[in-house]
Structure formats: structure tokens, C-alpha cells
């Protein structure tokens, strides 16, 4: 089946530092990857849609300069949280859509970010 991995699974950082989260499609090529954020007891909220080789499309209210997304290859997208603050602490989940496949998204295991 389609497997999506994320690294790291959890990260703790100091306020003001930047954190990079990687999302990889392990056994398929993904032209489109999605980044979500999930707060406790809340549903997944789409942050941005990332297409390979082009700029990401951000949802309303998501600061593109704070959440930098790079989709450099068909199997890798990265999310960098710049100058992280405690309110950025959340569960970040990526998903990927198979190139040439259906519109189904396959989700990664998530990354727990805690900003002190």
C-alpha cells in the first residue's frame, strides 16, 4: 500500500528557533502533498497544498513566511516552522496524493511539535 513517512515523529524546541519537518512518500510518487495541523480534540486543518516544482498554496490565515514549504521532488516535501512560538505547538500531519492516481490522500504518522 501507499506509505507516507514523517520525520521527526516528535520535536521539542526553544521559542525563536526554526524546525524542519520532512514528509516522504516511500513507495510512490506524489505530485501533490498536503500539510495539516491538528490541535487537541480538534479536526485536521489544512494549512497548505504543495505541488512538486511549484510554490505552495496556503489556506487563508496561514502565514506563508512562517510556515515555509518546499516540495523539491516527487517523494519529499518539507515544512519549516520559522521562529517558532509556544502557540505553534501542535500535531503536524502531511498527506500525499499518488501521481496519476485517484484523489485519495495517504496520511503520514504526524509530527508532534512542542515549543517551550
Partner 1 sequence: KNQVEQSPQSLIILEGKNCTLQCNYTVSPFSNLRWYKQDTGRGPVSLTIMTFSENTKSNGRYTATLDADTKQSSLHITASQLSDSASYICVVSRLSGAGSYQLTFGKGTKLSVIP
Contact positions with partner 1 (CB under 8 A) in 72-111: 91, 93, 95, 103-110
44, 62, 68, 76: which one binds partner 1 (CB under 8 A)? 44
**Sign of the CA dihedral running 72, 106, 95, 24:** negative
6, 75, 77, 78: which one binds partner 1 (CB under 8 A)? 6
54 near partner 1, judged by CB under 8 A: no
CA of 113: how far to CAs of 58, 67, 80, 84, 109, in Å? 20, 13, 11, 10, 13
Helix (H) or strand (E) holding 19: strand 19-25
Residue ranges binding partner 1 (CB under 8 A)? 4, 6, 41-46, 91, 93, 95, 103-110, 112
Amino acid at each position: 500500500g501507499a506509505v507516507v513517512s514523517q520525520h521527526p515523529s516528535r520535536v521539542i524546541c526553544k521559542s525563536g528557533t526554526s524546525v524542519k519537518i520532512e514528509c516522504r512518500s516511500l513507495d510512490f510518487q506524489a505530485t501533490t502533498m498536503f500539510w495539516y495541523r491538528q490541535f487537541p480534540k480538534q479536526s485536521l486543518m489544512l494549512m497548505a497544498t504543495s505541488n512538486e516544482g511549484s510554490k505552495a498554496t496556503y489556506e487563508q490565515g496561514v502565514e506563508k513566511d512562517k510556515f515555509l514549504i518546499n516540495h523539491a521532488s516527487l517523494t519529499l516535501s518539507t515544512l519549516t516552522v520559522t521562529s517558532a512560538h509556544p502557540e505553534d505547538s501542535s500535531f503536524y500531519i502531511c498527506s500525499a496524493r499518488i501521481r496519476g492516481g485517484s484523489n485519495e490522500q495517504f496520511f503520514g504518522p504526524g509530527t508532534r511539535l512542542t515549543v517551550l
